[in-house]
Amino acid sequence: MNKIYLTVTAHPDDEALGFGASSYVLSQKGHKIYNCILSGNVDARRHRPNIEELQTHTNNAQKFMGAESPILGNFPNIKFNTVPHLEMVQFIEKVIEQVQPDIIVTHHPSDLNNDHYYTSRACQAAARLYQRKPCKPLQGLYFMEIPSSTDWAFPIAGHNFDPDTFIEVGEKGVTQKLKALYAYEGVMRDYPHPRSDESIKALATLRGSQVGKYYCEAFQTAMNIITP
Ligand SMILES: [Zn+2]
């Protein structure tokens, strides 16, 4: 049965970095993908495009990933620590009510980027919505890995990204992910940066080889409900 996937991420490009190839292959199979980007309407980063350009980049990226129209928030880029936790939780809850996802994918809580951390915490709280009020039950919650962020976290908390779930994406999935990333002008870097062609493809190769596939994106399970 076709499922509805919702990613909840901090910045435009996170959804492509963490879920871009999976999004493409799942959409090709008839599943629906919605990307909620909490600072999607904010342009505060240096060397980044203005807001209109950013929205164009975001929309173009969704097309390469086979995703629906993006859901964009106004949370302040690089300042998610200044946002009341409840405000962010309630925003994500509204998105959940609107989209009615079966599966939610968000940031890993042990991520070097502070916005990613706050996004993950708020999304974990919001993911419990179906246990607090009548709405569609969630089937799974997963954490993604963001090259140059999740992999740059220092091993001090003892809970770094530890993948246990792999989505086979194929070479075409990796190609579409790269196209989505290039739609976001200024995101990609030269090798050996993790956001380079070589590294993105190498990570997909590595994740695939860990489970006997050619190319995968990897995730860590937070919750997976199996209904017989
Ligand atoms: Zn980010």
| DSSP code at position 93 | H
As a whole number, the mean pLDDT across the chain is 95
pLDDT tens readout for residues 65-96: 999 999 999 999 999 999 999 999 999 999 99
Separation of CA 77 and ligand 1 centre (Å): 9
Separation of CA 206 and ligand 1 centre (Å): 22
Residue of higher predicted confidence among 159 and 90 = 90
Separation of CA 11 and ligand 1 centre (Å): 4
Separation of CA 134 and ligand 1 centre (Å): 32
pLDDT for residue 28: 98
Separation of CA 114 and ligand 1 centre (Å): 9
Q: Tell me: pLDDT of 137 over 70.
A: yes
The whole-number average pLDDT for the span 182-211 is 97
Contact predicate 8/36, CB 8 Å: yes
The residues near 217 (Cβ < 8 Å, ≥ 6 apart) are 18, 19, 20, 21, 22, 144, 166, 167, 169, 173, 204, 207
Separation of CA 61 and ligand 1 centre (Å): 15
32-37 and 165-168 strand pairing? unpaired
Contact predicate 62/35, CB 8 Å: yes
pLDDT tens readout for residues 3-55: 999 999 999 999 999 999 999 999 999 999 999 999 988 765 655 678 888 89
